[in-house]
Structure 1
Amino acid sequence: MNERLRSALAQCGVSPVELATACEVDPKTVTRWLGGRLPHARHRWNVARHLKVDEDFLWPQTRPQSGQASGPGTGLVATYPDRASVPREMWLSLLLDAEQGIDVLVFSGTFFAQSNPRIAAMLAQRAAAGVRVRLCFGDPQGRAVAIRGREEGIGDALAAKIGASLTYYRPLLGTPGCEIRLHDTTLYNSLFRYDDDLLVNPHVWGQPASANPLLHLQKGGDLGWFGGYASSFDAVWDSARPWTDDAQGDQSRGWQD
Structure 2
Amino acid sequence: MPNERLRAVMAAGGWTCESLAAKAEVDPKSVERWVNLGRVPRRRTAHKAAEALREDVYALWPALRQAKAARAVSPELVALYGHRADVPVSAFIDLLASARERIDVLVYAAVFLHEAYPRLNELLRERAEAGCTMRIALGDANSPNVQQRGREEKFGHGIESRCRLAVMHCQPLIGVAGVEVRTHGTTLYNSLYRADDQMLVNAHLFGVNAYAAPVWHLRRSDDGGMFDTYAASFDAVWETARPVEAT
Query: Under a length normalisation based on structure 1, what TM-score does the superposition of the two structures give?
Result: 0.66
Q: Distance in 2 between matches of 1:94 and 1:157?
A: 28
Q: Kindly report the root-mean-square deviation, in angstroms, between the aligned alpha carbons of the 2 structures.
A: 1.5
1:141–1:101 distance in 2 versus 1, CA, 3 Å: same
SS in 2 for 1:122: helix
Aligned to 2:188: 187
Deviation at 1:110, TM superposition (A): 1.2
Inter-partner Cα distance in structure 2 for 1:81 and 1:221: 25
Identify the residue that residue 241 of structure 1 maps to in structure 2.
242
8 A Cα contact 1:75 1:223, kept in partner: no
Runs of 4+ deviating beyond 3 Å? none
Shift of 1:164: 1.6
Deviations 1:213-239 (A, max 9, x none): 001111114881111111000000011
1:232 and 2:233 correspond: yes
Cross-structure match for 1:51: none
Unaligned runs of 5+ in 1: 1-67, 249-257
Q: Report the 3-state secondary structure (helix = DSSP H, G, I; strand = E; otherwise coil) of the residue aligned with 2:236.
A: helix
**Counterpart contact for 1:76–1:221, Cα < 8 Å:** no
Q: Please tell me whether residue 209 in structure 1 is matched to residue 210 in structure 2.
A: yes
Is 1:96 the counterpart of 2:93 in the alignment? Answer: no
Q: Does 1:87 align with 2:112?
A: no
1:119-134 pair list within 5 angstroms: 119-134=120-135
**Distance in 1 separating the partners of 2:149 and 2:159:** 8
Q: 1:24 matched to which residue of 2?
A: none
Runs (5+) with no aligned partner, structure 2: 1-71
Matching residue's letter, 1:146: Q
SS of 1:79 mapped into structure 2: strand
Contact 2:144 2:185 in 1 (8 A): yes
Q: In structure 1, give the amino acid aligned to 2:227.
A: F
Kept in 1: contact 2:138–2:166 (CA 8 A): no
What secondary structure does 2:103 align onto?
strand
**In 2, Cα distance between equivalents of 1:88 and 1:164:** 19
Q: Match for 1:184: what amino acid?
A: G
Could you say what secondary structure the match of 1:98 adopts?
coil
Q: State, as a whole percentage, how many aligned pairs show the same letter.
A: 43
- Distance, in Å, in 1 between the alignment partners of 2:175 and 2:223 is 39
- Cα separation, 2, equivalents of 1:214 and 1:202: 6
- Taking the aligned partners of 2:192 and 2:113, their CA distance within structure 1 comes to 12
Could you report, residue by residue, the CA deviation over 1:180-207 in whole angstroms, capped at 9, with x for unpaired residues?
0000100110000010001111100011
Structure 2 residue identity aligned to 1:136: A
Shift of 1:87: 2.2
**1:163 partner amino acid:** R
Q: TM-score, normalised by structure 2?
A: 0.68
CA distance in 2, matches of 1:122, 1:143: 32
